[in-house]
A and B are shown apart, each in its own frame.
Chain A
Amino acid sequence: MLLIRCPYCEEERPELEFRNAGEAHIARPTNIAAESDDDFEKFFFIRSNPKGVIYERWRHIHGCARFFNAVRDTVTDKFVMTYKAGEPKPAKLPGASK
């Protein structure tokens, strides 16, 4: 079972307390009704499926109930880092060489 650090509770808690909520950093368009078919498709249907680092939303549903963002490696399953919802994509990941 994975340990996940909740950036709001500021501690590692077992995976059972959390729920994955899909890919992060996909903002809902402010004028969504005016989106073209292509743009709506990109926003709603298209998701990245990388081998390696992925940016995800998680929710500490059986804890503080907050949504937050996490960086996870899909190969090792390891969480690289977590950060609060609304914060920008980290420019540099911990442990990254560049």
Chain B
Amino acid sequence: MNASFRISGAGRLNQAKTASFSFDGKSYLGTEGDTLASALLANGVHLVGRSFKYHRPRGFLSAGAEEPNALVQIVRDDARKTPNVRATVQELYDGLTANSQNRWPSLAFDVGAVNDIASPMFSAGFYYKTFMWPKSAWLNFYEPKIRSAAGLGVSPDRPDPDHYAARYAHCDVLVLGGGAAGIAAALAAAETGVRVILADEQAEFGGSLRFESGAKIEGENGFDWAQAAIAKLKALDNVRVLSRTTAFGYYAQNFVGLVERVSDHLKSPGRELARERLWQVRAKRVVLATGAIERHMVFANNDRPGIMLASAARAYLNHYGVAVGRNVGIYTANDSAYAAAIDLRKAGVNIAAIVDLRDNPSGPVIDEARGLGIEINFGRAVVSAGGKLRVSSMTVQPKNGGGERTIAVDAILMSAGWTPSVHLFSQSRGKVAFNEETRRFVPGAYAQDCMSVGACNGTDGLDATIDEAYAAGAQAARDAGGKDSSGKMGQGARPKVDGSESWSRGMLGAAPGAGPGTTVKAFVDFQNDVTAKDIRQAVHEGMHSIEHVKRFTTNGMATDQGKTSNMHGLAIAAETLGKPIPQVGLTTFRAPYTPVTFGSIVGHARGALFDPTRRTATHGWAAAQGAVFEDVGQWKRAWYFPKAGEDMHAAVNRECVTVRKAAGLFDASTLGKIEVVGPDAAKFMELLYTNPWEKLEPGRCRYGIMLREDGFIYDDGVVGRLAPDRFHVTTTTGGAPRVMHHMEDYLQTEFPHLNVWLTSITEQWAVIAVQGPSARKIIEPLVEGIDMSDEALPHMSVREGKICGVPTRLFRMSFTGERGFEVNVPADYGEAVWEALWAEGQKHGATAYGTETMHVLRAEKGYIIVGQDTDGTVTPNDAGLDWAVGKKKTDFVGIRGMMRADLVAKSRKQLVGLKTKDPKVVLEEGAQIVEDPKQSIPMKMIGHVTSSYWSENCGRSIALALVAGGRDRMGQTLYVPMPNGTIEVEVTGMVFVDEKGERLNG
């Protein structure tokens, strides 16, 4: 056992319960209830990491979430290697394995530390200045080199095997922060019976009561009172108590995001436990009790391991029973560090000296320290710390200059004062206000229904804090509609304070010895290696806004978001600018308060659950046939059906030829389907589509085009009129939801006088396309009640009847140019009907075909696909579809847009066919087209290829293209310049197979 800095009898942990762990391969013993930080400190380990830029040795600054330095990698297994974990937050478990980051080959000897010697090169803004030339070197040399040298930690290279839970919750009063203030507020709110949630980021509630040995409430030590109060709250039905839960974001209308660390503290969390749980809480009232964070002193080499915040040393001692050194120096500008000196002295640790910047402070803690025989030096500054891997001395000087004296120490505890944690308040869009007297930003104007209490509100002293918090808790409950049945709301047991610690003030900015004109490394932001000198330099180089200073120096931009550094940085900038602090302003606080894993935000929405998968009724059948699927939106569609030995090309060629020679079956279920029903259904269709509908007879179909008001094609599809008041509308697969939205919009808001109902029926009907010369022979034996003759059921007609004994809407229509049918059956019967049709099809040599063959066959006929051959800037005329626009119509959506001068210009791009001069060459879709391939670059592009395929039926390649003035260019040779040479093409019509359309009845 090597925990030589653990003080027997000190702290609250049961020191008999040990837990072993390793750091950088070396084994140590800690105590149950430790954080990784307290366990390492108990073993005398201060050096835990190397800094980001200068690779300087670093130790622990804090004992909490504000930690900038002690970032480690926690390794559970090959996939679980979490980088940048704050050792001050990570709870110890038996077997924990941690490694330091940012060092090579070892923590004590790190090659990257040459950056520290070469630091003049790396001063503020160095990224912007140093690597500017030659330009090409940035991409090939500087950036990769910088990236490999910089960065924090190494991300795991395997998928995250953990799972993350999510909960929504509603409450009347949400209390954020579980210190004295938060607990008092929760007690007051809870006794009114309203729903309360109390959350705190630590494993145990109590906040600063964890280290404030002088706090006494209800006659008990403050921390013990807190545990009793939490037990009482947990026993109430109307209260939810969440520990290890950080409120990271405060959003609109009291919507707060919290993340609960469920199992990172457990030795072997079972699979049934999530790693983290995201809470999305909507609260009627929020009480912010987020406390305050101590600031460090800004002096030369203030980053040496062993130099830490005074309150952190108290937490390590009073809670964990760990002394952070044996011979400790104190450097302070306010009273609170005296309490650390006193606690340590009483625990038997030598206090080398207290160095206090103030001239003649007085007060009980100072008297007590003096009474304990501790050397106190007023009006003096620590101008430098000695030692490298661990602080070894502090050099003290009168603050206005004079003789230096070096005092040997193994730790320095510092306190420049306390910064109220206004992060969440600021995120709620509240405005902070600067208090000139106490020199701190506190909540000013509120933007949401919340209140701040205690240290985050600038309230000093435990008594005043509990007073304020208890009243606020009761007020919040009242405002949230809490019932005052007892008539004693807020009159309950306000906790009585019997002992209190209180301090405020302190200093902001660089301490003497690190002021203007000095070049020492006095760190303001430890994580991003920003010094006082860097901030002054930024101002001198012209950064006069605090937002610019922040970005130029990166002060406050590390993962700790400047929790300890922002106020110092601001004060130094203000001093350099010669302006008062409020005029320079505070940078914006943004979510998240502390880093949040992607896992907790994503939750279960990843992998197969990232997005819903839609499968058609025949999916299982197609998969069993060996179909290859493609994603079309959320749908899985059969792409092609390869037989043994076939590649995609061979399969598609065979499918294409078979459909035109015999027949093919195709699952068209994904097409959007909308039923338009009502006495005014035809009138509605007239307004929403370019075509005329009033005179379309029931039982007939028409190809419809839908425009937006701007006159461009929005969607298309075949529409069947089932009855005078009933249309079966089909849309493109991807367009179904937006077409429904578009129709509803007009029906509800522009044409509400029309008596029409719209119903999405996409999921209700499975659609089996049977296409090809043998199509009728395949369907006929299975159909009842429909005359399938060409006279009774001509092309573009629809009948209702039965197929295989189930209801069908049987469309005679074709997207292949062959005799074709689309058999609609209720989706539940889709697979059975498909199998019956397939069995019939086998007798006639039919093939199943997928979306690729569907695309080739339709392109051979020049049928367009909206979204492929059109792009939202194509009019019906551009697409050669003028015939589908009702010439006598006086109104439809898009009628006016179509008349705009630019939309009727002759030079518009028009859809045409292209044939390559070499029939074997297949153009690339999206390829640009030019008139003269010899012109200089950049060439004038006159259009592009929209669809291009190998057509086995034509024995050559075919393509569709949008070409400026295309219809006047028939027979012209144009050029498609490609990286491997220019391709010659001839402009043709859009129909490559059966130009007369005879095969529709073939």
Tell me the A residues contacting B by CB distance below 8 Å.
1-3, 19, 21, 27-28, 31-33, 35, 37, 40, 44, 57, 59, 61, 65-67, 76-78, 85-86
Write the chain A residue with the least CB distance to B280: A1
Which of B251, B752, B897, B901 is the one whose CB lies under 8 Å from A1? B251
The distance in angstroms between the C-alpha atoms of A35 and B896, with both chains bound, is 7
Q: Do A67 and B895 touch across chains, with their CB atoms under 8 A apart?
A: no
- Can you sample 19 A-B contacts with CB below 8 Å? A1-B252, A1-B255, A28-B709, A28-B750, A32-B891, A32-B895, A33-B891, A33-B896, A35-B896, A40-B897, A44-B710, A44-B897, A59-B741, A59-B744, A61-B741, A66-B748, A76-B447, A85-B752, A86-B749
Q: Do B896 and A32 touch across chains, with their CB atoms under 8 A apart?
A: yes
Q: Do B252 and A40 touch across chains, with their CB atoms under 8 A apart?
A: no
The distance in angstroms between the C-alpha atoms of A21 and B749, with both chains bound, is 11
Whether B745 is near chain A, meaning CB under 8 Å from some CB there, is yes
* A15 to B: closest C-beta gap in Å: 8
Q: Which residues of A contact B485 (CB under 8 A)?
A: none
Q: Do B890 and A33 touch across chains, with their CB atoms under 8 A apart?
A: yes
* A32 to B: closest C-beta gap in Å: 5
Interface size in chain B (residues, C-beta < 8 A):
25
Known: A2-B253, A37-B900, A40-B896. 4 other contacts (CB 8 A): A21-B745, A33-B896, A40-B900, A44-B710
Q: Which residues of A contact B890 (CB under 8 A)?
A: 31, 33
* B254 to A: closest C-beta gap in Å: 9
Tell me the B residues contacting A by CB distance below 8 Å.
251-253, 255, 280, 282, 429, 447, 709-710, 741, 744-745, 748-750, 752, 890-891, 895-897, 899-901
Which of B710, B748, B897 is the one whose CB lies under 8 Å from A67? B748
The distance in angstroms between the C-alpha atoms of A3 and B283, with both chains bound, is 12
Q: Do A3 and B897 touch across chains, with their CB atoms under 8 A apart?
A: no
Q: Which residues of B contact A61 (CB under 8 A)?
A: 741
Q: Which residues of B contact A27 (CB under 8 A)?
A: 750
* A78 to B: closest C-beta gap in Å: 8
The distance in angstroms between the C-alpha atoms of A37 and B429, with both chains bound, is 44
The distance in angstroms between the C-alpha atoms of A74 and B826, with both chains bound, is 47
Most chain B C-beta atoms within 10 Å of own C-beta, residue among A44, A78, A86:
A44
* A80 to B: closest C-beta gap in Å: 13
Which of B253, B748, B891, B899 is the one whose CB lies under 8 Å from A3? B253
* B623 to A: closest C-beta gap in Å: 31
The distance in angstroms between the C-alpha atoms of A34 and B711, with both chains bound, is 15
Q: Do B899 and A33 touch across chains, with their CB atoms under 8 A apart?
A: yes
The distance in angstroms between the C-alpha atoms of A66 and B745, with both chains bound, is 9
Q: Which residues of A contact B750 (CB under 8 A)?
A: 27-28
Write the chain B residue with the least CB distance to A65: B744
Q: Which residues of B contact A33 (CB under 8 A)?
A: 890-891, 895-896, 899
Q: Do B896 and A67 touch across chains, with their CB atoms under 8 A apart?
A: no
* B8 to A: closest C-beta gap in Å: 52
Q: Which residues of B contact A65 (CB under 8 A)?
A: 744
Write the chain A residue with the least CB distance to B709: A44
Q: Do A67 and B749 touch across chains, with their CB atoms under 8 A apart?
A: yes
Question: Assuming the A-B contacts A33-B891, A33-B896, are A85 and B252 also in contact, with contact meaning beta carbons closer than 8 angstroms in the complex?
Answer: no
Q: Which residues of A contact B429 (CB under 8 A)?
A: 76
Q: Which residues of B contact A35 (CB under 8 A)?
A: 896
Q: Do A86 and B741 touch across chains, with their CB atoms under 8 A apart?
A: no
Q: Which residues of B contact A66 (CB under 8 A)?
A: 748
Question: Assuming the A-B contacts A2-B253, A33-B890, are A85 and B709 also in contact, with contact meaning beta carbons closer than 8 angstroms in the complex?
Answer: no
Q: Do B752 and A86 touch across chains, with their CB atoms under 8 A apart?
A: yes
The distance in angstroms between the C-alpha atoms of A28 and B752, with both chains bound, is 12
The distance in angstroms between the C-alpha atoms of A61 and B738, with both chains bound, is 11
Q: Which residues of A contact B749 (CB under 8 A)?
A: 57, 67, 85-86
Q: Which residues of A contact B900 (CB under 8 A)?
A: 37, 40
Q: Which residues of A contact B901 (CB under 8 A)?
A: 37
Question: Assuming the A-B contacts A1-B251, A32-B895, A35-B896, are A85 and B741 also in contact, with contact meaning beta carbons closer than 8 angstroms in the complex?
Answer: no
* A72 to B: closest C-beta gap in Å: 11
Most chain B C-beta atoms within 10 Å of own C-beta, residue among A1, A31, A37, A78:
A1
Write the chain A residue with the least CB distance to B282: A3
* A60 to B: closest C-beta gap in Å: 11
Which of B252, B280, B282, B745 is the one whose CB lies under 8 Å from A77? B252
The distance in angstroms between the C-alpha atoms of A78 and B449, with both chains bound, is 13
Q: Which residues of B contact A77 (CB under 8 A)?
A: 252
Write the chain B residue with the least CB distance to A33: B895
The distance in angstroms between the C-alpha atoms of A4 and B411, with both chains bound, is 56
* B277 to A: closest C-beta gap in Å: 18
The distance in angstroms between the C-alpha atoms of A37 and B280, with both chains bound, is 49
Q: Which residues of B contact A76 (CB under 8 A)?
A: 429, 447
Q: Do B745 and A67 touch across chains, with their CB atoms under 8 A apart?
A: yes
Write the chain B residue with the least CB distance to A77: B252
The distance in angstroms between the C-alpha atoms of A28 and B447, with both chains bound, is 38
The distance in angstroms between the C-alpha atoms of A70 and B395, with both chains bound, is 66
Q: Which residues of B contact A85 (CB under 8 A)?
A: 748-749, 752
The distance in angstroms between the C-alpha atoms of A27 and B752, with both chains bound, is 12
Write the chain B residue with the least CB distance to A34: B896
* A95 to B: closest C-beta gap in Å: 15
Q: Do A2 and B252 touch across chains, with their CB atoms under 8 A apart?
A: yes
Q: Do A67 and B447 touch across chains, with their CB atoms under 8 A apart?
A: no
Write the chain A residue with the least CB distance to B901: A37
The distance in angstroms between the C-alpha atoms of A21 and B255, with both chains bound, is 24
Q: Which 4 A-B pairs have the closest CB atoms?
A: A32-B896, A67-B748, A28-B750, A1-B255
Write the chain B residue with the least CB distance to A36: B896
Write the chain B residue with the least CB distance to A22: B745
Write the chain A residue with the least CB distance to B257: A1
The distance in angstroms between the C-alpha atoms of A77 and B255, with both chains bound, is 14
The distance in angstroms between the C-alpha atoms of A59 and B252, with both chains bound, is 20
The distance in angstroms between the C-alpha atoms of A2 and B255, with both chains bound, is 8
The distance in angstroms between the C-alpha atoms of A21 and B746, with both chains bound, is 12
The distance in angstroms between the C-alpha atoms of A76 and B446, with both chains bound, is 12
Q: Which residues of A contact B895 (CB under 8 A)?
A: 32-33
The distance in angstroms between the C-alpha atoms of A59 and B746, with both chains bound, is 12
Q: Which residues of A contact B896 (CB under 8 A)?
A: 32-33, 35, 40, 44
The distance in angstroms between the C-alpha atoms of A65 and B744, with both chains bound, is 9
Q: Which residues of A contact B710 (CB under 8 A)?
A: 44
Write the chain A residue with the least CB distance to B746: A28
The distance in angstroms between the C-alpha atoms of A19 and B447, with both chains bound, is 25
The distance in angstroms between the C-alpha atoms of A27 and B895, with both chains bound, is 16
Q: Which residues of B contact A31 (CB under 8 A)?
A: 890-891
* B419 to A: closest C-beta gap in Å: 27
Q: Which residues of A contact B282 (CB under 8 A)?
A: 3
Q: Which residues of A contact B745 (CB under 8 A)?
A: 21, 59, 67
* A88 to B: closest C-beta gap in Å: 14
Q: Which residues of A contact B709 (CB under 8 A)?
A: 28, 44
Q: Do B253 and A67 touch across chains, with their CB atoms under 8 A apart?
A: no
Q: Which residues of B contact A19 (CB under 8 A)?
A: 741
* A47 to B: closest C-beta gap in Å: 13
Write the chain A residue with the least CB distance to B253: A3
